[in-house]
Structure 1
Amino acid sequence: MKNAFYLLLSFVFLLGSCTSVRVLSDYDKEVDFNGYKTYAFYRTGIDKAQISDLDKKRILRAVEREMSQKGYVKSKTPDLLVSIFTKEREQVDVYRNAGFMYGWSPYYWGWGWGPGFYGDQVSVSTEGSLYIDLLDAKKKELVWQGKGVGTLSETSNIEKKEERINEFVAKIMTQYPPGQEGE
């Protein structure tokens, strides 16, 4: 549970990051997406997402806004079910700082210029992925999946978190429906 909290926390903190969001999508090319007009959230899938309930709400509100802008209506008898999940990956980069410096050398007699190492610099970043799945409600089959990937950064500023989540969701949803602008 602690890992899930940190995963969520990291995902939320990605909101404060200024880096761009890379998006990808995949879909079943046999599906006629023009037949879908209504949607509902697929709680079974959403409940499994390892992020905080607050961030789930933020993501779902953003998805709701995007679906509404595309002309979809929320319904108790939907054509599509919307689910989400997240992943994170920590990346560690080590930089060896080297260069020329002036100083005393125990290996060479006296003072002088020469190559030297200043020590290692370690950079740790977390990359998070948000997946938005759209399932055919009748068949319970995945018909479209959008993925947004970006660097996560920590912030306690709620507005920045919401802004970053909105950015992730909006960029992912530019890929839906397939064949539309943004693909």
Structure 2
Amino acid sequence: MRYTFLLLVLFIVTSCAPIRVDYDYEKTTNFETYKTYNYYGDIKSGLSDLDTKRLFRALDEGLEARGYTLSETPDFFIDIKSVEFQQQRQNNVGVGVGGTGRNVGGGISIGLPIGQSQLGREIVFEFVDENKTGLFWQAISESNYKPNATPEKREAQFKAIVEKVLEGFPPEQK
């Protein structure tokens, strides 16, 4: 019973892929001067038009919750790029055959991949101040991507990505 429970917990933990985010920013930037934003008009997000709208909605909600306002004359612009990629299989099972005898020994081992490869999506968020510093903040997120997901699940995924991305904006400056 205990062994089954541990296997179930292990399966749940490995099946829920986290959203990973890396941040980078210009250390000399005064983030308190930024209150308004807008998107570049020629964004080639790499997403479908519907997914781009979902991502913009989620980002608007997240920035608005942090006190930023969408404006025609913004303090900074946002550029978004994304790329789809095939994730490497992480699960393998080793099968071994060996023999021992008086003076004879040997063995063979092969790794068999388990499960299917998954699609991943990397989304790059860049905040750019065209008047002062240029690119001043960047976040790169990686997460699983399911092309056949329902619109509701896609929207929830984009909200989760944006929430994780905006955890690092504005950065704590010392």
**Normalising to structure 1: TM-score of the pair?**
0.71
- After superposing the two structures, state which structure 1 stretch, 163-172 or 86-95, moved more: 86-95
Identity of aligned residues (%): 32
Q: Which amino acid counterpart does residue 150 of structure 2 have in structure 1?
A: N
SS at match of 2:148: coil
2:60 aligns to what?
64
Task: Indicate yes or no: 2:91 matched with 1:98.
Answer: no
Q: Deviations over 1:110-153 (max 9, x none)?
A: xxxxx999994463122211111111142471110012111223
Which whole-Å CA distance do the structure 2 matches of 1:116 and 1:153 have between them?
37
CA contact (8 A) 1:96 1:117 kept: no
Larger RCO, structure (CA 8 Å, separation 6 or more)? 1
User: Where do 1:7-18 residues align within 5 Å?
Assistant: 18=16
Aligned to 1:54: 50
Secondary structure at 1:145 match in 2:
strand
The answer on 1:166 being equivalent to 2:159 is: yes
User: What CA distance in whole angstroms lies between the structure 1 residues aligned with 2:30 and 2:108?
Assistant: 64
- Written as runs of structure 1 = structure 2, the 5 A alignment for 1:1-183 is 18-44=16-42, 46=43, 48-93=44-89, 95=92, 98=95, 120-121=112-113, 123-139=116-132, 141-179=134-172
Q: Which amino acid aligns with 1:87?
A: V
Q: How many equivalent residue pairs?
A: 148
Return the structure number with greater strand share.
1
Q: Which runs of 5 or more residues in structure 1 are unaligned?
A: 1-16, 101-114
Q: CA RMSD in A?
A: 2.6
Q: Deviations over 1:90-112 (max 9, x none)?
A: 13438465257xxxxxxxxxxxx
Q: Which amino acid aligns with 1:157?
A: T
SS at match of 1:24: strand
* Residue of structure 2 equivalent to 1:107: none
Q: Secondary structure at the match of 2:87?
A: strand
Return the offset for 1:156. Answer: 3.1
Counterpart code for 1:49: S
Hey, what's the Cα distance between the residues in 1 that align with 2:20 and 2:172?
Answer: 18
Contact 1:43–1:83 (CA under 8 A) maintained in structure 2: no
Which ranges of structure 2 fall in alignment gaps of 5 or more residues? 1-14, 98-106
TM-score (norm 2): 0.74
